[in-house]
Amino acid sequence: MTKQPLKFTTVFGIAMIAIGLILEIGALFYHIGSRDSAEAVFTGAIALSVGNAFMISHSLKLSLTLSVLGSLGVGYFVFVSTRFNWLWFIVAVIAFVAFMISLLKLRETVRINHNTWQD
């Protein structure tokens, strides 16, 4: 089996995921709970989501992990923006996860690949 060269979209996706992770993790250590931290985490969450969409991973676990990390970043932004209101944090996280699942068509991936999973 020969390896195929990486496509531009895959490389772009990996780069965006790396940038998103650096932004999200770094921003949590920079004045946690501040508006600046929330904006940096939001930017990282969007970068993660864009990278997830462009990478076109066949790994369901990786796609779900990136979607959850991105939605937690969006939730953190909403949490700080609403003066630490947990209700809006939960609503934002659920809404963003639902959006990412529908965008990436993860349900189709689950349905197609369910018989190839190992216990």
- Tokens for 66? 């990136």
For 106, list phi and psi in degrees, rounded to 5.
Answer: -70, -25
Contact (CB, 8 A) for 53 and 9: no
Q: What is the 8-class DSSP label of residue 29?
A: T
pLDDT at residue 119, as a whole number: 46
Q: Collect the ranges in the chain with pLDDT lower than 50.
A: 119
Length of the chain: 119
pLDDT at residue 109, as a whole number: 62
pLDDT at residue 54, as a whole number: 86
pLDDT at residue 35, as a whole number: 92
Condensed to tens digits (0 to 9), the pLDDT of residues 2-15 reads: 677 778 888 899 99
Condensed to tens digits (0 to 9), the pLDDT of residues 36-47 reads: 999 999 999 999
- Tokens for 76? 């953190």
Q: Where do the structural domains in the chain lie, given as residue ranges?
A: 8-116
Q: pTM surpassing 0.85? A: no
d(CA 43, CA 45): 5
